[in-house]
Amino acid sequence: MSKYNNEFVKGVLRTQGTRFVNEDGQEIILHGYGLANWENVEGFMIGGAPTPVDVFKFWLFPGPGKDHNPERWTCRRTVSQVIRELCGSKYLETFWDRWEENHLQEADIKLMADLGYNCARIVLNANALLYEEPGINFNEKGFGRLANVIDWCEKYKLYVILDMHGVVGGNNGATGDSLFCEYPSVFLDAESKERQIILWEEIVRRFGSRWIIAGYDLINEPVSSPVQHEYIHLLTEYYDECIERIRKIDTEHIFFLEGAKYARDMRIFDKEFDPEYHKWAISIHLYGASPEIKDLYPWLLLCQERNVPLWLGECGAGEDADAIFYDICAHYGVAYTPWAYKTALGKHGPHGGKPGSVGHPLPQDWNKIIDYLMTGPRPSYEESQRIMDEYIELTKLEHCVINYDHARTSARKPNITLAGVGYDMWTEDGSRYYGNWEMGNYLCFRLEDRTKLVWATDKTKPYPKFTWYEDKAELRYSPLHDLALELAAGEYANYTVREVEDNCKVAVEGVGEGKADILCNGVKAGEITLAAGCILQPVWSEEVTIPAGAEVVVKVAVTEGTLTIKNVRFQY
């Protein structure tokens, strides 16, 4: 049994202090993916046109007008308008039904379970479930597709977090929103707010009795654009009203609450949001985190103060960093769902040629759509419909490229290579790991560990800056690649891998004049030596075989001399 896969997906999920537990009280480390682009498309992830503004302004807008988000092909609302222009209103009537039926199917949910995940953040758009017209008229086809996804998640044992990414009227003005304009209509006009809460009540009435549902992410990245920050206080009012009304229907499930400013601002979490039941968690979005405790510290401290768990609702920093960072998260019971499961491939997708998790190809003539979105001619109705028909077909999993490396690496399963400086931060008995080094390191990485991390790159060392004499070019540094771990006789470092299914070979890359024992879960498995040399030209040691196991802790314990470790490889 493992708290890292879906073996512990059992019964209604609960919070127990700062941890998530199943109905038997067993801790489970929630990890899965955000299922973006199903009901709630984001243009830059589905083959959007290049934006003329830089990438940071693409996410953080200074206000309406200048440097505003590209107005075409950005969200469900604007994509609908483009489809209407290209293919006609009649085509649009069935476009989203066909898109949703193909983009997320049972095969996708099965794949997530096969990859070892145990939860899914189901990304919703209010416009896919509640028609934008007078009165309350629900889209029964949309609700039917949502019911199917929940059924599949129960079948394959993935806890479901229902995420209202695009709310009625919009709330943040970014690409994932259902915005009317730059301002948060869901807070500013009574009708939008009421319709959104009515939608939540309907979702809870229909699905609140399902044990597979972990809980409700009530609103995504609220009040984020700088022009909206004066409305942050309205977010608390929205949460209070939502929770009060939902609790009249469902007293079992967890509320996942996001702060303002792209789910990074903590100011609203100064109170108990669910006073009668205390079933809630804080959700943050944390991209590019360094694999060390300090990048989690503010939120870990807050969660301890409120006695609630932490969920990284969106995250990701690259496979090598994720493998180390997510292990730190797991130690503290922090859940994580990287963003995003299925996106477009190619130069018009978010990751270029390689998918983050699953990538679907774009139609052969997609450049004609891109040209139209920019400054080019409009393809004919017939040609546009052909291209869009092809697009809808290509979103099926059978046409996609699957990045198996990402799932394996982030879960720390062989075949995997861990950076030497990515050692375990805790010993086998759970106590904190410390070294004896007192002078820090050039990149101030994991200073609290007191380990000796030496310079292991030909980049210029980052000496303290002098304002009157600086190079214009700023070098980018990566602790995992630019540093190495130096261990003297009597010192050691641990590296954990999981779900080792067969005998596995371990090797250490580095330099030094010494020897080290390789221990596997406390039992000596062999020893290694490394040759003297320059850390810029490290060599691999002999391979040592370790046995299969659900969780394998490999200790590199130096017995003679000094070894400088660049990487540790686990390979079948």
Which residue reads 């308008």 in tokens?
81
How long a stretch of residues is the chain? 572
Amino acid at 555: K
Report the share of the chain in percent with pLDDT over 70.
Answer: 93
pLDDT of residue 168: 95
**Digit-coded pLDDT (tens) for 233-244:** 999 999 999 999
| SS3 letters across 24-56 | CCCECCCEEEEECCCCCCCHHHCCCCCCCCCHH
Please state, in angstroms and rounded to a whole number, the distance separating the CA atoms of residues 217 and 121.
Answer: 9
Nearest to residue 13, comparing CAs of 471, 388, 3?
Answer: 3
422 pLDDT higher than 60: yes
The token pair at 55 is 């990438």
Q: With cut-offs at 50, 70 and 90, classify the pLDDT of residue 465.
A: low
Q: For the chain, what is the mean pLDDT?
A: 92
| DSSP β-ladder status, 549-571 and 213-217 | unpaired
**Digit-coded pLDDT (tens) for 264-305:** 999 999 999 999 999 999 999 999 999 999 999 999 999 999
Q: With cut-offs at 50, 70 and 90, classify the pLDDT of residue 183.
A: confident
Which residue reads 């009515």 in tokens?
198
The token pair at 303 is 């969660």
Q: With cut-offs at 50, 70 and 90, classify the pLDDT of residue 5.
A: confident
Q: How far is CA 300 from CA 281, 284, 309, 310, in A?
A: 12, 11, 9, 7
**190 Cβ partners below 8 Å, 6+ apart?**
none
pLDDT of residue 48: 87
Q: At what angle do helices 140-156 and 190-207 cross, to 10 degrees?
A: 50
**Digit-coded pLDDT (tens) for 368-403:** 999 999 888 999 999 999 999 999 999 999 999 999
pLDDT of residue 472: 54
Q: With cut-offs at 50, 70 and 90, classify the pLDDT of residue 54.
A: very low
Across the range 362-367, mean pLDDT stands at 96
181 pLDDT higher than 80: no
pLDDT of residue 72: 82
Across the range 538-565, mean pLDDT stands at 96
Burial of 527 (0-12, 13-18, 19+ CB in 10 A): middle
| SS3 letters across 157-189 | CCEEEEEEEECCCCCCCCCCCCCCCCCCHHHHC
Query: 417-445 burial, b if ≥16 CB within 10 A, otherwise e?
Result: bbbbbbbbbbeeeeeebebebeeebbbeb
470 pLDDT higher than 60: no
Please state, in angstroms and rounded to a whole number, the distance separating the CA atoms of residues 410 and 356.
Answer: 12
pTM of the entire predicted model: 0.93
Please check whether residue 218 is in contact with residue 200, taking contact to mean a CB–CB distance below 8 angstroms.
yes
Amino acid at 511: V
Please check whether residue 143 is in contact with residue 293, taking contact to mean a CB–CB distance below 8 angstroms.
no
Q: Which of 168-182, 271-285, 440-454 has the lowest mean pLDDT?
A: 168-182
* Beta-ladder partners of 321: none
pLDDT of residue 468: 53
CA 513 to chain centre: 41
pLDDT of residue 69: 40
| DSSP β-ladder status, 342-344 and 358-360 | parallel
Main-chain dihedrals φ then ψ at residue 330, nearest 5 degrees: -60, -35
**Digit-coded pLDDT (tens) for 189-225:** 999 999 999 999 999 999 999 999 999 999 999 999 8
Across the range 510-526, mean pLDDT stands at 95
Report the share of the chain in percent with pLDDT over 90.
Answer: 82
- E-assigned strand segments in 167-307: 213-217, 254-258, 280-287
Please state, in angstroms and rounded to a whole number, the distance separating the CA atoms of residues 257 and 239.
Answer: 8
61 pLDDT higher than 50: no
DSSP string, 189-203: SHHHHHHHHHHHHHH
Nearest to residue 380, comparing CAs of 88, 120, 5?
Answer: 88
